[in-house]
A and B are shown apart, each in its own frame.
Chain A
Amino acid sequence: MTHVAILGGGPAGLAAAQGALAAGARVSLLDEGDRLGGQFWRHHERLTDPRLQHAWHRFGRLRGALADGDAQVHVGASVWWAEASADGVRLRATVGDADGDGRTGLEVDADAVVVATGAHDLALPVPGWTLPGVTTAGAAQALAKRDGVAVGRRTVVSGSGPFLLPVAHSLALVGSEVVAVHEASRLPALARGWLPRPWELAGKAEEFLEYAGGLMRHRIPYRTGSAVVRVLGTDRVEGVVVAAVDADWRPIPGTEREVACDAVALGHGFTPRLEAALALGCAIDGDHRGRFVVVDDTQRTSVARVFAAGELTGIAGADAALAEGAVAGFLAAGGAFDDPRLRGPVAARSRTRAFARRLERAHGIRPGWTAWLDDDTIVCRCEAVARRAIVERADVPLRAMRLATRAGLGPCQGRTCGRTVEAIVAEAGGAAASVGFDRRPVLAPVRIGEVAALAETDPPT
């Protein structure tokens, strides 16, 4: 019997598990979270307000498929090693309390793997963004959904993309006043992205209208062509400077105004978590504006036995992740692409690919944002590296620049700043990087002792 390992338990990973089981495989699914669901269905049985969840019945069905099928589910399992060879794939994980010192080792050998590690927020730096009270939009969403708490009492949401709408709505439902949502893209870009061929947006349109209704009920203004360009405060957030921005997101002088608040949620899109796919040797395409795992129509990567699905292959939301996951899991288990059971997901995937292109056209990051940075604005939060230091070394190879400035060498390993450092280097005329900051030898934090104890790892399952 074919054994399919699935890395990630978000919409893509769960759909992959269901697909692989349907095609007759045995499944092992690993996720570092305490619960299945990924970012989209982040929850806690007692703490989550059901009004913050969407398509919950679908999650129930996916969990049901895992419970009824030949599946091993490992939550709290951080995969820190992944390799593929001619014989199979191997994942190594630590299992237990997050960052605890008593975790156990787990090794999974399988015939194929579906990598579904998702994405995290891309928050562009803004002067003052290291002040306590500034979080990513995703953090505001995660804390609202999972823990039932609001990041502030008076929150300003700024960035770009439809994701800002559910974030504002969630914040209001958990008790924060939301001063405004600032969408950097201007109406012409939004119209170019969203207005053509409205019939393609069936299903999506209702979701937007629901969020728009939520914003109206809570009297939250939605301001396009504007952005938080500075965060004010000494020990914590006390306010922000908001400005109108042009079509390239460059702040328009003279439009600045101060707004009092105690929290700021920033989200300018998402960036995929590529490290596992890179460790497995998968080809990646793109540059600092967006870099994704290359897959074909069957969700196969460039490496035999390795499939990828979800935000890892493009940013298109949970529906796309579900459709890609279903295809990837089914094929990884040896199922045929022309199987009638894949008709639904394949059709859904062509819709969601079109959706991804609209997203990028309407909300994609525009290069003018760097104009809101000061020379001493911190870009790498871990190592407190300012823009000036990066610009000064823009002409040396990326690796040398990192060693000289320490940008991207802190605990987060460049996950937070990688894309923006590359953008600043590119703007300053530096060399473009092929993989840039995304390669990481260890995929998830492990303690030295845990690596040493590998010899005592449980036998492969």
Chain B
Amino acid sequence: MIRITVDGEPVQGRDGQTIAGVLVGAGRTAWRTSQTGDRGVFCGIGVCHDCLVTVNGVEGVRACRREAADGDRVEREVRA
């Protein structure tokens, strides 16, 4: 088990899952604010950039490609 935070809230996942895998596994479907409402995973393989999050302060990380590490701080990105 690993534990990350998403906008401050704790979320548990399985060791080795991608950030998108942890979030979807926890029943979350959306974690980014776009011009048209919330978005989450779409292509699942790093192509569409819909799943972008900030991880430990680094912006623009594709949640579907980044393996989650215990203690990761994941934050929502808002498209102006």
Q: How many residues on A have C-beta within 8 angstroms of the other chain's C-beta atoms? A: 51
Interface residues of B in 52-67 (CB under 8 A from A): 52, 58, 60-62, 64-67
A235 touches B25 (CB 8 A): no
Pair A100/B30 contact, Cβ less than 8 Å: no
- A299 proximal to B (CB < 8 A): no
Residues in chain A near residue B47, CB distance under 8 A: 120, 273, 412, 415-416
Binds B, one of A145-153, A348-356, A423-431: A145-153
The tally of residues in B whose CB lies under 8 Å from a CB in A reads 38
B15 to chain A, nearest CB (A): 7
Bound state CA distance, A399 and B7, in angstroms? 39
Asked if B18 lies at the interface with its beta carbon under 8 angstroms from chain A, I say yes
B21 close to A143 (CB less than 8 A): yes
Give min CB distance, A86 to chain B, whole Å.
Answer: 33
Contacting residues of chain B (33-63) with chain A, CB-CB under 8 angstroms: 34-50, 52, 58, 60-62
Of A97, A100, A146, which one neighbours B21 at CB under 8 angstroms? A146
Cα–Cα, bound, A39→B62 (Å): 17
B24 at the interface (CB under 8 A from A): yes
Our pick among A139, A152, A378 for the contact of B45 (Cβ within 8 Å) is: A139
Least CB distance from A129 to B in Å reads 9
**How far is it, in angstroms, between the C-alpha of A39 and the C-alpha of B67 when the chains are bound?**
17
CB-CB nearest in chain B for A273:
B47
Residues of B within 8 A of A236 (CB): 29-30, 38
CB of A411 within 8 Å of the partner chain? yes
- The main secondary structure of chain A at its interface with chain B is loop
Q: Which of A133, A136, A147 contacts B25 (CB 8 A)?
A: A147
Contact B37 A412 (CB under 8 A): no
CA gap between A410 and B60 in the complex, in Å: 13
- Is B43 a contact of A32 with CB atoms below 8 Å? no
A101 and B36 form a contact (CB under 8 A): no
Nearest residue in B to A383 (C-beta to C-beta)? B35
Smallest CB separation, B28 vs chain A (Å): 9
Whether A135 is near chain B, meaning CB under 8 Å from some CB there, is yes
Cβ of A34 within 8 Å of any chain B Cβ, yes or no, is yes
Contact of A143 with B42 at beta-carbon distance under 8 Å, contacts A98-B61, A99-B65, A130-B37 already known: no
Is B66 a contact of A139 with CB atoms below 8 Å?
Answer: no
Interface string of A97-140 (1 = CB under 8 A from B): 11111000000000000000000110000000011111110111
With contacts A147-B18, A235-B38 known, is A32 near B61, CB below 8 A?
no
Which of B14, B17, B39 makes the CB contact (< 8 A) with A130?
B39
A47 in contact (CB, < 8 A): yes
Which of B14, B16, B40 is within 8 Å of A132, CB to CB? Answer: B40
Residue of A nearest to B49 (CB): A411
B29 touches which of A45, A133, A147 (Cβ 8 Å)? A133
- Does A344 touch B at the CB level, under 8 Å? no
CB distance from B3 to the nearest CB of A (A): 16
Residues A139 and B42 in contact, CB atoms below 8 Å apart: yes
A416 near B44 with CB under 8 A, answer no
Indicate with 1 or 0, residue by residue over A394-418, a CB within 8 angstroms of chain B CB atoms: 0000000000000000111001100
A132 to B29, CA, bound (A): 6
A190 within 8 A of B: no
**Nearest CB on B from A10, distance (A):** 11
Interface string of A440-457 (1 = CB under 8 A from B): 000001000000000000
Are A139 and B64 also in contact (CB < 8 A) when A101-B58, A235-B37, A416-B43 are? Answer: yes
Q: What's the Cα separation between A132 and B49 when bound, in Å?
A: 14
Q: Which of A97, A121, A412 contacts B49 (CB 8 A)?
A: A412
Tell me, rounded to whole Å, the shortest Cβ–Cβ distance linking A286 to chain B: 20
Q: B75 CB to closest chain A CB, in angstroms?
A: 14
Task: Please tell me if A382 contacts chain B, counting CB pairs below 8 Å.
Answer: yes
Report the bound CA distance from A415 to B49 in whole Å: 10
CB of B43 within 8 A of CB of A47, answer no
Which A residues are in CB contact (< 8 Å) with B20? 143, 147
**18-43 of chain A: CB within 8 A of chain B:** 32-34, 39
Min C-beta distance of B56 to chain A, whole Å: 9
10 sample A-B contacts, Cβ–Cβ < 8 Å, listed by A number: A47-B14, A100-B58, A100-B66, A120-B45, A132-B30, A133-B40, A134-B42, A138-B45, A236-B29, A445-B60
Extra inter-chain contacts (18) besides given A98-B61, A136-B42, CB under 8 Å: A32-B46, A47-B17, A97-B66, A99-B60, A99-B66, A120-B45, A131-B37, A133-B29, A136-B43, A139-B42, A139-B44, A140-B44, A147-B18, A151-B24, A237-B29, A381-B39, A411-B52, A412-B47
